[in-house]
Amino acid sequence: MSAPEPCLVFDGSARAGVRVGVLSGGRWVGQGLSPDGALEGLFGCVEAALAESKLKLGDIRSFALCVGPGSVLGIRIAALTVRSWSALEPRPIFVWESLAGIARSALVAGEKGPFLVAVESRLKRWHALEVSADGSLGTPFEAEAAQLNTAGCRVLASSEAAPSVLTSHVAVSHPWSSLPVFFAQSGFLREEPRPDALNVANDFATWSGERHR
């Protein structure tokens, strides 16, 4: 399944930083990047991506966003944005998962399984996914860094925090640049009219709401 182009693409799943791009003709024609979270940086990135592509929001034919696992707040801000715009002018919404993106990017770069891919969770935990020897992807799970360190295989991550806590860490680049290729591949995108954040945690901490004000 491929997203009709031009497609406005969002990734607010990182603990810090947000990315927005316009995909057309199988390549990025406009991008907006911010070191801030989605709460502060999302709409500025949208404006930058549309300006670079010389398009307006009304020219966009579909939306795509990363549903995580990752920053629940960032993902939900992006999800509510595309759901609102799609309600005003119906356009299909597609989603992909962050760990699958890292795994596919690593495999394309020549990494051989088995290995783990990981992204930061909360409370110093990590979301992870196992890639088997034949390249098939497992089910996302949440774990302490110590659990990943005793898993007996490499842990691939693009997070700046990974080297200090993951003893078998292998640095990999963010898969953003490879997304145009992955979007054209079967099984990477799925259509989801009401996307929400994917969270594989089994327990949740009490929150004060300060960040949401």
Reading the block at residue 84, the tokens are 């609102």
The answer to whether residues 75 and 115 belong to one domain is: no
Mean pLDDT, residues 121-147 taken together: 92
The answer to whether residues 13 and 52 belong to one domain is: yes
Mean pLDDT, residues 107-111 taken together: 94
Query: Which CATH number covers residue 162?
Result: 3.30.420
The answer to whether residues 93 and 103 belong to one domain is: no
Reading the block at residue 79, the tokens are 């999800």
Q: Which residues are within 8 A (CB) of 136 and not within 5 positions of it... i.e. 6 or more apart?
A: none
Mean pLDDT, residues 89-113 taken together: 96
The answer to whether residues 12 and 62 belong to one domain is: yes
In a domain, 1, yes or no: no
In a domain, 2, yes or no: no
The answer to whether residues 133 and 191 belong to one domain is: no
Q: What is the mean pLDDT of the chain?
A: 91
**Structural domain of residue 151, as residue ranges?**
98-171
Mapping DSSP to helix (H, G, I), strand (E, B) and coil, where does residue 192 land?
Answer: coil
Amino acid 60: pLDDT: 98
The answer to whether residues 73 and 43 belong to one domain is: yes
Query: Which CATH number covers residue 30?
Result: 3.30.420.40
φ/ψ of 75, rounded to 5, equals: -65, -40
> CA 50, 53, 54: angle at the middle one, nearest 5?
80
The answer to whether residues 87 and 26 belong to one domain is: yes
Amino acid 200: pLDDT: 58
In a domain, 124, yes or no: yes
The answer to whether residues 89 and 118 belong to one domain is: no
The answer to whether residues 111 and 151 belong to one domain is: yes
| pTM of structure | 0.90
How much of the chain exceeds pLDDT 90, in percent? Answer: 82
Amino acid 207: pLDDT: 41
**Digit-coded pLDDT (tens) for 113-123:** 999 999 998 77
Residue type, 110: G
| Total domain count, the chain | 2
The answer to whether residues 76 and 34 belong to one domain is: yes
The answer to whether residues 207 and 144 belong to one domain is: no
**Digit-coded pLDDT (tens) for 161-202:** 899 999 999 999 999 999 999 999 999 999 999 999 987 555
Amino acid 122: pLDDT: 75
The answer to whether residues 103 and 50 belong to one domain is: no
CB 64 within 8 A of CB 9: yes
In a domain, 85, yes or no: yes
> What is the pLDDT confidence band of residue 210, given thresholds at 50, 70 and 90?
low
